[in-house]
Copies of this chain bind each other. A is one copy, B any other.
Amino acid sequence: MAAAPDDELVETLIGVFMEIDGLFSTTSRGLGLTPQQAQLLCFAQHLQPSFGELATLLHCDKTNITGLVDRLQRRGLLTRQPDPNDRRMTRVHLTPQGEAVTGQFQQAINTTLTTRFSSWPSTQRDSLVHLLQSAATALRP
């Protein structure tokens, strides 16, 4: 492959991406959720996002959100709440059951991820956190 330095950065970034992708898929499936559903629930946990906000957060069309929310609402994990300030908007609120399963998902991700890094010395972990924070802002255009 004879990777140039830049290609090496790209390559490792994608390697980490694919590992986390797999972790997200298997973890959400284990809880009876699709990855998209799990991601939506995580976004709805602290904000009460509107449908349009969910569409931009999930990088998809707004018409997709309708069905996504329908299925999660049918299972009692969230509710539609009208926005008091703008009657065009609908906001998504998690039910207690939705909070529970979202917490389960996050905890599962958290424990597998932290156990994977448990052998790392804290100095190495700190420098990775620091570099990843810069990388995340660099990646946002």
Residue of B whose beta carbon sits closest to that of A106: B10
CB-contacts of A1-57 with B (<8 A): 5-10, 12-17, 19-26
What 1/0 flags go to A69-89 for Cβ under 8 Å of B? Answer: 000000000000000000000
If A16-B136, A139-B16 touch, whether A125 touches B9 (CB-CB below 8 Å) is yes
> Which 9 pairs, one residue from A and one from B, show the smallest C-beta to C-beta distance?
A12-B132, A19-B139, A15-B136, A22-B59, A17-B20, A128-B131, A6-B114, A10-B113, A116-B138
**Chain B CB within 8 A of A66 CB:** no
Q: Which residues of chain A have a CB within 8 Å of any CB of chain B? A: 5-10, 12-17, 19-26, 59-60, 109-110, 113-114, 116-117, 119-120, 122, 124-129, 131-136, 138-141
**From DSSP, what is the main secondary structure of chain A's interface residues?**
helix
Residues of chain B within 8 A (CB-CB) of A24 are 17
How many angstroms between the C-alpha atoms of A71 and B7 in the bound complex?
30
A5, A16, A25: most-surrounded residue (chain B CB, <10 A): A16
Residues of chain B within 8 A (CB-CB) of A134 are 120, 124
18 extra A-B contacts, CB within 8 A, seeds A15-B133, A128-B135: A9-B117, A9-B129, A9-B132, A10-B114, A12-B129, A13-B16, A14-B109, A16-B16, A16-B132, A16-B135, A17-B20, A20-B139, A23-B139, A116-B139, A117-B135, A124-B134, A127-B131, A128-B131
